[in-house]
């Protein structure tokens, strides 16, 4: 046996071992793929395909009944330069994200903090604060429009007895979004539960150490609680922003009911989406109107693409920015 | 090579034959019993009336069974056509989307079928002829019509010392002010007239008819800023709102009952006069039979226009993928042109029968309140709104402008209307797929 043959025969088992490892890895990957396949199929059919189609349709004139016709960037040009309602809808959506989302995070964190400190009746109050989250959005909105009716609603009647002239709530463009915000705050049960779990999970010894160092309640909140639960805050903010960008049901129902045309919710001629004065016309409502009452699905798809891009950009900005303030394990920064 | 050519020729021939067979099959008649499905917007009591009339058709046509499905809207119709599950006959409560249905072929062109059956569009009044076609394609026919007039509360009129309904806008304004009563705290107790756009049936197209204002020029461009009627109507509306008080009106309106309920403001006497459709006669009969009220055409800015009004109404057609199009056409033809069927439907639904002949049918149950609307329908000055490729968004954009105007959010009416004209033209161009002008 020559030296070369000896080295080849010595290398063979190593090659065989590598091949065996590769075969084993490939088998594992196939198994993983097989196990993932139901989700992958669902993702491809219900997310991937609609996304690709939506992107394609955004460059087409498509009325849902006749075949799509390529129009290039015409839908985008119309959206950015002509459509008189797009900017109103964007402004309304941004208002909700800028005002409602932070308030929801603060409110749910505040309730969670109080519940975490409750000496007795914690279970009862947890249930009370969580219950509104179980109410269907349509029913909750109907109830709020009724309660906040400026003429017959109990809130303004009580305010009247106290000598206060109540606002017009859902009937006033200046008050309609704050009214939706109150509705949003009422239903923060899900976020509150997540915050409660996070607050209860803060190690006691951190508070004890802080107390030994002379930290007061505010300092403990600032330097112990918030840094420790910062990943949950990040989660709540991202979730809130995405939900804010997709905010639809409450705005749609409130406009229909407040305009006095609840019985005609499906009547395309009612023209009351965004009532009053387009103040509740949020971006998804306008998108819905163009797609499903005007039957301009090509244009609605262009609007959806913009929404996707904005959602992605906003989330990216929050995530990148979060590195500065979110606690990544170990000591708080 | 010859073989290839022969094969290609054979394929072309087979293809052509298949296409021809398919085309014929579209309107061919089935030999056995046929089950037709009809989708309509009516529900509850009104659906029962329609089903009763259709049962007569069933009885007269032993080979056909008709299944009626109610509570249908345009969304469902479009979704079904897209999914290939559309019924044989579809009906929509209004004509705003005729432009989409006709231009897309979603509802088939009824022109050839009408010609084949010897049916002329002149059977129907001009306004209904207009709103059942788009760009020369007639893909729908009117199935009853709605027109709008003035409802007035006779008891409130008497107590205010008003002898009869107003006929001019000046009289309307004076009567509305006289009929409006305030509570000691300044809030509205009874309102003479609610002019708010968006309230109940108040939309621009139903009001501006009283000023005789047109929408489009000969080239189908929007001319709202060039028609004095538009600014005259809007200025009148604002001056009346200013007299009552915008916030007071908003608050009063918020406390009113839903339009299609027994708490309707006119029916319960909170509103002395109201613009409404002819169907309200049946609602009042069912919900408040003792209400002492009258009906009249809407007062007009020009005496020559008095007696006219806004017309729209239910339309009916055949979706492109309906399975039994020949039988479907027979039913559509019967429902839309048979005087007896239209009279029966009109009696039950208190909608206006939609052919010239049925307007004077002896089968129509006499009713003084309803007779007003039959006259409005037959008035040559009665009009409808434009049928454009933009569908309902066209009139909704005008409504959007009017609501901003009434709230005092439009600084210059003339430049606002000019800008609205441009937006409307751009919207139509966009809806046709032409992009930004």
Q: Give the residue with greater pLDDT, B214 vs B4.
A: B214
Does residue A5 form part of some domain?
Answer: no
Q: Is residue A128 part of a domain?
A: yes
Q: What is residue A11's predicted lDDT score, i.e. its pLDDT?
A: 64
Q: Can you tell me the distance from the alpha carbon of B317 to that of B96, in angstroms, rounded to the nearest whole number?
A: 14
Within this chain, do residues A129 and A188 fall inside the same structural domain, yes or no?
A: yes
Q: Percentage of chain B surpassing pLDDT 90? A: 77
Spatial separation of the C-alpha atoms in residues A290 and A309, rounded to whole Å: 19
Across the interface, whether the CB atoms of B435 and A151 are under 8 A apart is answered no
pLDDT in tens, B236-268: 999 999 999 999 999 999 888 888 889 999 999
Nearest-Cα residue of chain B relative to residue A81: B436
Between B16 and B334, the higher pLDDT residue? B334
Q: How far apart are CA A203 and CA A147, in angstroms?
A: 42
For the stretch B312-371, pLDDT in tens is 989 999 999 888 999 999 999 999 999 999 999 999 999 999 999 999 999 999 899 999
Q: Tell me how far the alpha carbon of residue B26 is from its chain's centroid.
A: 29
**Strand pairing category for B34-39 and B89-92:** parallel
Residue A179 sits in the same domain as residue A317:
yes
Output Rg (C-alpha) for chain A, integer angstroms. Answer: 28
Write the DSSP symbol of residue A169: G
Identify the pLDDT of residue B259: 87
Q: What is the mean pLDDT of the segment spanning B78-106?
A: 91
Q: How confident is the model at residue B88, as a pLDDT?
A: 96
Q: Which of A53, A74, A95 is the last residue of a domain?
A: A74
Beta strands at A69-70 and A60-61: parallel, antiparallel or unpaired: antiparallel
- Starting at the edge strand that comes first in sequence, how are the strands of the sheet with B34-39 ordered? B64-69, B34-39, B89-92, B315-317, B141-142
Q: What is the ipTM score, two decimals?
A: 0.80
* Structural domain of A54: 14-74
- Each residue's pLDDT tens digit, B193-208: 999 998 999 999 999 9
Domain boundary among A6, A41, A74: A74
Which CATH number covers residue A209? Answer: 1.10.3720.10
- Asked if the model's pLDDT at residue A84 lies above 90, the reply is no
The answer to whether A154 and A146 have CB atoms below 8 angstroms apart is no
At residue B14, the pLDDT reads: 46
pLDDT of residue B96: 85
Question: Residues B53-76: pLDDT tens digits?
Answer: 999 999 999 999 999 999 999 989
DSSP code at position A330: S
The span from the CA of A60 to the CA of A63, in Å, is 10
Q: Is A126 found in the same domain as A31?
A: no
Preferred mutation among A267, A293, A299 to probe B, highest tally of B CBs within 10 A: A293
DSSP-derived secondary structure letter, B299: P
Does A273 lie in the same domain as A233?
Answer: yes
Last residue of some domain: A31, A58, A74? A74
> CA-CA distance, A198 to B378, in Å (whole number)?
72
Tell me: pLDDT of A147 over 60.
Answer: yes
Judge whether residue B21 has pLDDT over 50: no
* Inter-chain CB proximity A277 and B251 less than 8 Å: no
pLDDT exceeds 90 at position A17 = no
Query: Could you tell me what percent of chain A has a pLDDT over 70?
Result: 92
Same domain, A52 and A96: no
Q: Using CB atoms within 10 Å of the CB of residue B218, give its burial: 0 to 12 exposed, 13 to 18 middle, 19+ buried.
A: exposed
Share of residues in chain B with pLDDT > 70 (%): 92
**Judgement on whether residues A66 and A87 belong to the same structural domain of the protein:** no
Residues B148-177 have pLDDT tens digits of: 999 999 999 999 999 999 999 999 999 999
Of B199, B203, B392, the CB nearest to A294: B392
Q: In terms of domains, do A67 and A200 share one? A: no
Alpha helices in B245-324 (DSSP H): 246-254, 280-287
Answer whether B354's CB lies under 8 Å from B313's CB.
yes
Biggest distance spanned by C-alpha atoms of chain B: 99
Q: How far apart are CA B268 and CA B259, in angstroms?
A: 11
Contact B203 A276 (CB under 8 A): no
Backbone angles phi, psi at B42, to 5 degrees: -65, 155
Give the whole-angstrom CA distance, residue B207 versus residue B232. Answer: 11
Q: Mean pLDDT in chain B?
A: 90
**A265-279, B69-83, B293-307, B417-431: segment of lowest average pLDDT:** A265-279
The answer to whether the CB of A93 falls within 8 A of the CB of A245 is yes
Let me know if A150 is exposed, middle or buried by CB neighbors in 10 A (0-12, 13-18, 19+).
buried
Q: Specify the number of domains making up chain A.
A: 2
Distance in angstroms between the alpha carbons of the first and the last residue of chain B: 52
Residue A189 CA from chain centroid, whole number? 15
Q: Output the pLDDT for position B90.
A: 96
| Gap between the Cα atoms of B235 and A53, Å rounded | 47
Pair A70, A87 in one domain = no
CB contact under 8 Å between A171 and B253, yes or no, is: yes
Same domain, A123 and A226: yes
Nearest Cα to Cα of residue A179 among A167, A197, A161, A190: A167
Is the separation of the CB atoms in B346 and B363 below 8 Å?
A: no
Among B378, B417, B403, which residue's Cα sits nearest to residue B207?
B403
Using an 8 Å Cβ cutoff, are B425 and B222 in contact?
A: yes
Give the best residue of A70, A86, A142, A151 to mutate against chain B (max B CB count within 10 A): A151
Nearest to B436 among A78, A85, A168 (CB): A78
- Arithmetic mean of pLDDT, B179-189: 95
Query: What was the pLDDT predicted at B254?
Result: 86
The pLDDT of residue A244 is 94
Question: What are φ and ψ of residue A322, in 5° steps?
Answer: -65, -20
Q: What span, in angstroms and rounded, lies between the C-alpha atoms of B26 and A4?
A: 81
Mutation target among A62, A67, A70, A82 for the B interface, most CBs of B within 10 A: A82
Q: Which of A81, A149, A295 has the CB atom closest to B391's CB atom?
A: A295
In which region does residue A122 sit, left (phi positive, over 0), alpha (psi from -120 to 50) or beta (all else)? alpha
Q: Around B167, how many Cα atoms within 13 Å sit in the side-chain half-sphere?
A: 8
A221, part of any domain? yes
In a domain, A333, yes or no: no
For residue A60, being part of any structural domain is answered with: yes
A275 vs B: CB within 8 A: yes
Mutating which of A169, A295, A302, A303 best tests the B interface, going by the most B Cβ atoms within 10 A? A295
Summarize the confidence of residues A39-64 as an average pLDDT: 94
For A219-267, write each residue's pLDDT tens digit. 999 999 999 999 999 999 999 999 999 999 999 999 988 887 655 544 5
Residue A99 reports pLDDT greater than 60: yes
Rounded Cα gap, residues B152 and B190, in angstroms: 13
Geometric angle at alpha carbon B313, from B90 and A261, rounded to 5°: 95
Q: Which of A151, A263, A296 sits opposite B251 (nearest CB)?
A: A151
Query: What is the residue-averaged pLDDT of chain A?
Result: 89
Strand partners, B296: B150
Q: Is residue A98 domain-shared with residue A215, that is, in the same domain?
A: yes
Q: Among B189, B148, B191, B195, which residue's Cα sits nearest to residue B169?
A: B195
- Show residues of chain A in contact with B392, CB under 8 Å: 268-269, 271, 293-294
CB A302 within 8 A of CB A77: no
Residue B311 is inside which H or E element, if any?
strand B311-312
Phi, psi of A120 (to 5 degrees): -145, 160
B405-435 burial, b if ≥16 CB within 10 A, otherwise e? bbbeebeebeebbeebbebbbbbbbbbbbeb
DSSP strand E in A254-322: where? none
For residues A74 and B435, what is the distance between their CA atoms, to the nearest angstrom? 5
pLDDT of residue A119: 82
Comparing CB atoms, the residue among A78, A172, A294 nearest residue B391 is A294
Residue B133 dihedral angles phi and psi, to the nearest 5°: -135, 165
Which pLDDT score, from 0 to 100, does residue B431 have? Answer: 87
Interface A–B counts its CB contacts (< 8 A) at 149
Nearest to A82 among B103, B395, B436 (CB): B436
How far does the CA of residue B32 sit from the closest CA of chain A (Å)? 31
* Shared-domain flag, residues A63 and A199: no
- Rounded distance between C-alpha atoms, residue B241 and residue A230, angstroms: 53
Q: Which residues of B touch A299 (CB under 8 A)?
A: 430
What is the full DSSP assignment across B89-157? EEEES-STTHHHHHHHTSB---HHHHHHHT--GGGS-HHHHHHTEETTEE--EESSBEEEEEEEEHHHH
Is the pLDDT at B77 greater than 70? The verdict is: yes
Identify which of B101, B392, B436 has the shortest CB distance to residue A268.
B392
Q: Are residues A120 and A231 in the same domain?
A: yes
Residues 64-103 of A with CB under 8 A from B: 64-66, 69, 71-72, 74-75, 77-78, 81-82, 84-85
Q: Give chain B's domains with CATH numbers.
A: 32-145+313-365 (3.40.190.10), 147-310+389-431 (3.40.190.10)
CA B261, CA B280: separation in Å to the nearest integer?
11
Q: Is residue A1 part of a domain?
A: no
pLDDT of B134 reads 93
> What pTM value is reported for the model?
0.84
Domain assignment of residue A315, yes or no: yes
Q: Which residues of A touch B75 (CB under 8 A)?
A: 266, 268, 292-293
The string of pLDDT tens digits covering residues B380-399 is 999 999 999 888 889 989 99
The predicted pLDDT at position B260 comes to 85
- Percent of chain A exceeding pLDDT 90 equals 73
Whether the predicted pLDDT of B26 surpasses 60 = no
Strands B146-153 and B271-277: antiparallel
The CA distance from B122 to B355, in Å, is: 9
- Whether A82 and B433 lie within 8 Å, measured CB to CB: no
Q: Is A75 helix (H, G, I), strand (E, B) or coil?
A: helix
């Amino acid at each position: 046996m020559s030296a070369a043959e000896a080295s080849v025969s010595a290398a063979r088992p190593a090659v065989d071992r590598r091949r065996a490892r590769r075969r084993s890895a490939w088998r594992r990957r196939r198994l993983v793929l097989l196990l993932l396949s139901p989700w992958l199929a669902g993702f491809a059919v219900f997310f991937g395909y609609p996304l690709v189609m939506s992107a394609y349709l955004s460059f087409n004139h498509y009325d849902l009944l006749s075949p799509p016709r390529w129009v290039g960037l015409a839908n985008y040009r119309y959206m950015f330069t002509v459509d008189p309602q797009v900017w109103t809808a964007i402004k309304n959506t941004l208002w909700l994200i800028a005002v409602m989302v932070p308030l929801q995070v603060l409110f749910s964190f505040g309730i969670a903090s109080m519940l975490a400190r409750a000496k007795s009746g914690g279970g009862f109050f947890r249930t009370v604060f969580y219950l509104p989250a179980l109410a269907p959005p349509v029913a909750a909105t109907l109830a709020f429009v009724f309660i906040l009716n400026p003429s017959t609603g109990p809130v303004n009647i009580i305010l009247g007895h106290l000598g206060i002239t109540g606002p017009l709530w859902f009937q006033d463009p200046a008050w309609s979004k704050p009214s939706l915000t109150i509705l949003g705050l009422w239903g923060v049960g899900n976020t509150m539960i997540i915050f409660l779990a996070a607050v209860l999970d803060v190690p006691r010894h951190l508070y004890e150490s802080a107390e030994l160092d002379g930290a007061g309640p505010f300092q403990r909140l600032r330097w112990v609680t918030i840094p420790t639960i910062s990943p949950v805050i990040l989660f709540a903010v991202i979730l809130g922003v995405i939900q804010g960008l997709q905010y639809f049901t409450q705005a749609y129902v409130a406009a229909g009911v407040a305009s006095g045309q609840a019985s005609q919710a499906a009547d395309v001629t009612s023209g009351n989406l965004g009532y009053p004065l387009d103040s509740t016309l949020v971006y998804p409502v306008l998108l819905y109107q163009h797609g499903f009452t005007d039957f301009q699905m090509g244009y609605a798809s262009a609007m959806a693409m913009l929404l996707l891009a904005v959602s992605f950009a906003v989330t990216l900005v929050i995530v990148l920015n979060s590195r500065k303030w979110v606690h990544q394990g170990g000591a708080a920064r | 090579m010859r073989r290839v050519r022969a094969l290609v020729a054979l394929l072309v021939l087979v293809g052509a034959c298949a296409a021809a067979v398919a085309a014929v099959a579209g309107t061919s008649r089935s030999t056995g019993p046929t089950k037709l499905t009809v989708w309509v917007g009516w529900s509850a009591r009104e659906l029962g009336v329609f089903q009763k009339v259709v049962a007569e058709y069933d009885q007269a046509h032993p080979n056909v069974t008709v299944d009626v499905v109610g509570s249908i809207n345009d969304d469902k119709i479009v979704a079904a056509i897209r999914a290939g599950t559309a019924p044989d006959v579809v009906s929509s409560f209004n004509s705003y989307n005729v432009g989409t249905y006709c231009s897309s072929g979603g509802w088939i062109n009824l022109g050839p079928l009408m010609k084949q059956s010897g049916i002329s569009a002149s059977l129907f009044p001009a306004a209904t002829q207009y709103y059942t076609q788009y760009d020369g394609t007639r893909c729908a026919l009117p199935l009853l019509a709605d027109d709008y007039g003035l409802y007035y509360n006779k008891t409130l009129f008497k107590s205010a010392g008003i002898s009869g309904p107003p006929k001019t806008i000046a009289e309307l304004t004076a009567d509305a002010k006289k009929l409006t009563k305030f509570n000691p705290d300044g809030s509205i107790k009874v309102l003479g007239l609610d002019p708010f756009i968006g309230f109940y049936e108040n939309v621009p197209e139903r009001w501006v008819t009283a000023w005789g204002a047109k929408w489009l020029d000969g080239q189908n461009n929007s001319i709202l800023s060039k028609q004095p009627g538009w600014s005259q109507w809007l200025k009148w509306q604002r001056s009346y709102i200013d007299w009552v008080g915008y916030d007071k009106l908003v608050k009063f309106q918020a406390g009113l009952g839903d339009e299609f309920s027994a708490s309707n403001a006119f029916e319960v006497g909170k509103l002395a006069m109201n613009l409404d459709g002819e169907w309200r006669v049946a609602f009042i009969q069912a919900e408040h039979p003792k209400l002492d009220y009258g009906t009249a055409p809407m007062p007009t800015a020009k005496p020559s226009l008095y007696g006219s009004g806004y017309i729209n109404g239910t339309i009916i057609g055949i979706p492109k993928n309906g399975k039994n199009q020949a039988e479907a056409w027979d039913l559509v033809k019967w429902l839309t042109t048979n005087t007896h069927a239209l009279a029966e439907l009109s009696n039950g639904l208190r909608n206006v029968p939609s052919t010239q002949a049925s307007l004077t049918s002896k089968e129509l149950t006499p009713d003084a309140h309803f007779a007003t609307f039959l006259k409005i329908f037959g008035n040559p000055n009665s009009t409808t709104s434009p049928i454009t490729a933009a569908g309902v968004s066209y009139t909704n954009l005008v409504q959007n402008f009017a609501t901003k105007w009434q709230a005092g959010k439009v600084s210059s009416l003339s430049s606002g209307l000019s800008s609205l004209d441009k937006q409307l033209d751009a919207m139509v161009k966009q809806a046709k797929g032409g992009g930004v002008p």
